[in-house]
Structure 1
Amino acid sequence: MKTAASPAFQDQGNSSVHSIPRSPRLLETLLANLDGVVYRSRDDERWTIEFVSEGCLELTGYLPEDLLLNQRLSFADLIHPDDREMVRAHVAQCVAARRRIDVEYRISRADGETRWVWARGVGIYGAGGKVEALEGFMQDVTERKEAAQALQEAERRYRSIFENAIEGVFQTTPDGTYIAVNPALARIYGYRSPEDLIVSLRDIRHQLYVEPERRNEFMRLMEERGQVSNFESRVYRRDGDIIWISENARAVCDEAGNLVCYEGTVEAITERKLYEAEMRHQATHDALTGLPNRNMLHDHLQRAINNARQKGGLTAVAFVDLDQFKFINDSLGHQVGDELLKTVAQRLQSCLRDSDMVARQGGDEFVLVLQNQTGGEAGIAEVMQRILAAVSRPWQAGDREFHITSSIGVSRYPTDGKDVETLLKSADSAMYRAKEQGRNNFQFFAPWMDSQVSNRLEMLISLRRALDQQEFKLFYQPKLSLKDGSIIGAEALIRWESPEQGMISPDRFIPFAEEAGLIVPIGEWVLRTACRQNKAWQDAGLPPVPVAVNLSPRQMNPALPDFVADVLAQSGLAAAWLELEITENVVMKDAEKTVAALHALKRLGLQISVDDFGTGYSSLSYLRRFPVDALKIDKSFVRDIARDADSAAIVKAVISLAHILNLRVIAEGVEDEEQHAFLKENGCDEVQGYYFGKPMTAADFTRRLGEEAGRLGEAR
């Protein structure tokens, strides 16, 4: 090793302390074994090295002779360029004040790697007080420095997460006071700042929880399990409003196992709870009228039958059908038709006792369940007359007045049936008899009315003829992007052009086709026709858009994926341009079979959407199991979003949560600018409805696509 002798490292005398002889070899061995570098440099511009120990190579990658007298580089050159000014200033200050040099900085090794070092040293002063040299020791502290920096970064990230988290984060004492909270929790609880919350909210059990026993339950779970998960409670905000929250928390103990505090997170779930309550309501109630739906009707009627069987008494079922509803609905539009249905629902309720029930069966059909009727048939007849009179009262639509009537069929337990289905079927048959008698009347069921089955047979024959003679037509309703208003799809909608009855809407024949099993061949015809038409549009050079086709529950079978693949192959349409719509109830009915069929369909490359979302009883979290691409918000929610806070909250929640699951959101039934603006403002992706275009023939939709192509061309 090449070194320069340094007075600082020589024997300075022969005192008893230094009586043991020192040899240069011993000194070199000691220096070589140090974990670092001992050095002596001149106090010049380049800090010229006069001595450097063997540790130089390991630390810097340079041999000692490379630095001695600046043969290859100087000590100043070794320091990282960004740190040189700082180091020189520090050394100058220490030398001037005769203080020990103590500084950390970076060096650039011979291999280009940057390392952190810790340098300690002193100035060597001559007799006149002038600095003659600098001597010191330099050690690699890269690992410690990086560990410290990593700790600082981790603390910074933790603080950032804590301060910027969407969820509330807290620490509380076991006796119920807050130690630390983040800004999100303060916002959730309505406080100006975390400090304001900590100072003001001193008793969690009584100040926060609406039901203080929930805090007791929280504490019980903590004692038993040491944690709580998804702990839902109602709590007070500072302004007194009540909200729902969900907590996840754990007990924190010290090394001795003593409880120190509780810490966890809080999520505001009020919108979700409202949505779940609405979903439960939708499972048993009609979205339009608020009346019980078929599910609740069947349960209530079964209880009424059980009660009559045990205690006696007369129970009657009345099937009410509006006589002129189709005319009003088709002439004035669905919005007016919906208002009429809500009015009729209110009038029917006004005619019944609290123990009776009125339910909406579907369309313009209502079912009444009358329990413990006194006076026999005469008493029932009196109620029916009251209903006929109430329904037929004048009804105002805009500046026009209408008189709508109803036809009612009545069945009785146990005379006309001993179970739910038989009683409903008998009342339905009696209702058809009332229509045959000129409408605006009621009829009690009689056994001979079962001959009306022949009328249904005629409908069956007509539907089969319609398939054979191509009486069905497909109409197409455009779907628009809320981002730029462009047409991005269409929904194929079936119509029946009967030679005898003219254009028949699907509301009239689809339910019967479902019941009779004809919906499968009809659905297959719709799919083939829609795919061929879409391919024809593409071949004509029109902008390609996906066409959506509704699937019936009866079509959801194991053979469906192969059939769809055959239709695509025969039409030549790429799967990407086909979208299949299934209803929410289909998804939830047989989850295991449905998910298998949907996965098989997705492997073809097509899109799948859930239609009429919100009218059944499912949840977005449950839908994560299904390979769907989009949700269609049912028009019953869209209708009132600009006027009804509950509908608006539900729609917002569906849009937000669907986007979390990476699902597109389509709103149907958009009929005015208020609805359009609300949906656009809240991030809905697509819309369809009369406001943008009614269902139209293939020829009209062809022209619409042509206009779209021209608009896009001009935009370019």
Structure 2
Amino acid sequence: MTSVHTLNDWLALCRQAQQADGPTRLSALAQLEAALAEAQRDIEAQTPTLQLDTLGYITDWNLGAAALFGYSADEVRGQHVLFLYKDDGEAPAELFLASDSALMEVQRRKKSGEVFRATMSLQMLRDADGEPEGMLAQFKPLPDGLSNDEKLRLYLRIIEDSNQGVMVSDAQERIVVVNAAFTRITGYTAAEALGKTPDLLRSGRHDAAFRAQVRLAMKGEHPWSGEILGRRKNGEVFPQSVSISAVRDDHGQITHAFSIFSDISAHKETEARLHRLANFDSVTGLPNRSLLQQLVGQALTGVERNKSHGALLVVHLQRVAILYDTLGHDACDALLQEVSQGFRKMLRDQDVLARTGNDKFVVALLNINKREHAAIVAQKLLSTLDHSFKVQGHELRLTANIGVSIFPDDGLDTAALLRFAELAAARAREVGDQTEAGECLFYSSEMNQRASAHFRIESELRQAVSRNELRLFYQPKVSLRTGRIAGAEALLRWHHPEQGLLSPAQFVAVAEETRLILELGDWVLNEACRQLRAWADAGMVVPPVAVNLSARQVDERLPELVEKTLNRHRVPPSQLKLEITESLVMRNPEMVLPVLNQLVAMGLSIALDDFGTGYSSLAYLKRFPITTLKIDRAFVIGVPHEANDCAIAQAIVTMGKQLRQEIVAEGVESREQMAFLRELGCDQLQGYLFSKPLDADEYARWVAEDRRLPLQ
């Protein structure tokens, strides 16, 4: 047989087998097959292979295994395979073969004692009956780790390519190694730094004790890590996070010290920005509520010890929400910045001025001699609002109400003091609404009692719906052409178990503040539709009923809620009117308009309640799908004797007629008022002249009896 040793020998055999024919071809194929078998045997002989019996004793050992492990076949045959293991206590993996073959990574020991890693392929050997009779194990050594030279080159590359600056100094503190990041961070090249001491980067911002700690780390006393202010080549001081350690030789002597550092300027800037966001108002730059509470809390800890006094002043600006809606955020932000600057000028350096809401500022007078001093400061703050503010070509006037709490008189808890001052500010607002001027009030126990009553009402109101304590009454609206009932306004009453029938004035404000108004509004809408269905099922024909909507109810979800309620009670939309307030229209016209358009498209009518009390723009008014204007009772009370009320009523009627809207006058109580309003052209009146609010049964009886108001 032809010997096959090289690739050319193989190619020659293949060509010979391909080109021959007949007996010659068969001979060539036989030679090629024999050569392949010989090559396979050579490969198997070179692959480290050992054979074991079922107990783990070596029964065969090829030349490849001898070359790998260093043992001859005679030395290992009959020994247990465990003698090749790295650890004596290791379980023989070969004896736990779960299938006919497996591949795993192992560690084994050579005759020289050297331990090496290898992949081991196991194969189960079976007899003619298929019973296990042994195992075949083949090994493929895995490459060792890096050489010392390779490791050194790798370490140097890691240091050079690191994003962190590296500086190595010798025992005399001379810099001997720096990397590229060192140059990028400090501005010094290697040529400029080598041979110098680390004082090259010294900023002069740290005291002697701090520098001594760093020097001890360089001397091998202990590793040190922390933050250091360094100085770049251009003189800029920058913060860095640094780790310093010493390097010792085989005898324990310090030969070098190394520093690994990072520029943390960006981190510090982010940290400062987050601190500003967490503690300062973004518009005025003043402390926010969180920082205010911290500062006041710190001051309160020393009040009793120092026998000192202080005050919190809550300054509540008026009309800010309306100005935001009409003028936009940029203009109002500029206005508030100007207001805050005026406030700041009235205060001492040690006083704290904070902004805690869109229209709310808080002043903390951390040390005053008398509570009267807080009132003096309050009047100074109000005086800064005496002039007009120019915003986008408009001259605007602002007013404010101020509530004051005193510590320690009113307490020593920051949250409680703020709450007391806010209660006083709310009370001041009530007084200010009556006088149309800014007011300042101090907190008192009476205000606390009012607050307790507020919380009690809230608690009881939450149970009123489930306890079936709410009622709807219906106040008729009368046509000034026929005197007949033309509709009714559904008015909510609360049948309190102890206090009797309560009007909305006694609980709606609490409901608005606590968002209970949403639950109450849903109840009123549902109850009005239920009652309309009950009347219809009884064969009664009643005119449309109007339901008042809270500003909190008017959002993109309202049309779906109204539609579901109408469908549930099978009430046609023409039977229901919705009344909204003028202030709601002006608060967010771009949001309200599409909601109202959806409701009108469903077939409902919209009435604008309390008209004349807000700040309606005619440009907005003509865009809204309003069919009815209701003249507020504040302008009805004075007619026909008060000239101003008469003029306002006449202007509203004239404008409404021009816009083809129905005009309803509220609060009509005398025939003189009726005659005047009828003369102006009002369509309907509502008030005690005709009827107080009636319960459902009585109202139904009036409609059935066709009750009329004599117009002459």
Task: Return the TM-score normalized by structure 2.
Answer: 0.44
Larger Rg: 2
TM-score with structure 1 length normalisation?
Answer: 0.44
